[in-house]
Amino acid sequence: MKKVDLMIFDFDGTIADTGADLASSVNHTLAAMRLAPRPDKEILGFVGDGIRKLLERSLGEQAAGRLDEALAVFSVHYEKHLLDRTVCCPHIEEVLKFFNHKMKVILTNKRLSMAVSIARGLHIDRYFMEIVGADSLPCMKPDPRVIDYLLEKYNVAPAKAVMIGDGVNDITVAKNAGILSCAYLNGLGNRETLLQMDADYYCEDLLDIHGLFQ
């Protein structure tokens, strides 16, 4: 087992299963703009680079010039419905309790206010020192400066920090910053893509993390 001092968790698909509410709000946005809906699975394939990219991809070529309109519609709807069907990912609360003695932060490309609302609504915010969102710093994943900020703030050496997430950006930012990476294969991210990324650790079930770090 590897000893770590700081555990950095992704949010969507790792901490919280937000997929249903994200897809619902995207399709509400498309309907409001008189555009054709998309299958939930397709929308969830667009998640990971923040709301702007999510909507840009969902709009596609058909409405490329209407991104600001989409952002406005989506934001109002999602803020009202972000806890309709969102739940904790399987076993994540057991993992957070198990590592209660460790410094833990959330690092997400979701807007901070939305991540905080969900974390509070699911009663898991108490497990974390801090939540860093897309708008918390001048950059976001996979820019290594977001990790550098955390390492400096919490006085942790790169070799003693791990990024745990289900997305390409989570593994990429860890590699870019020289910290450990742990890919969760059953979140929102593409499993096959993650397997090709040569993460330091892989887990099928979040409970596997118990046996990887100490």
Give catalytic residue positions. 10
Alpha carbons within 13 A on the beta-carbon side of 173: 31
d(CA 194, CA 185): 7
Give the torsion through C-alpha atoms of 61, 135, 173, 94, to 10 deg.
Answer: -110
Q: In what order do the strands lie in the sheet with 201-203?
A: 130-132, 103-107, 6-9, 161-165, 180-184, 201-203
* Burial (CB count <10 Å: 0-12, 13-18, 19+), residue 185: middle
Phi, psi of 99 (to 5 degrees): -100, 35
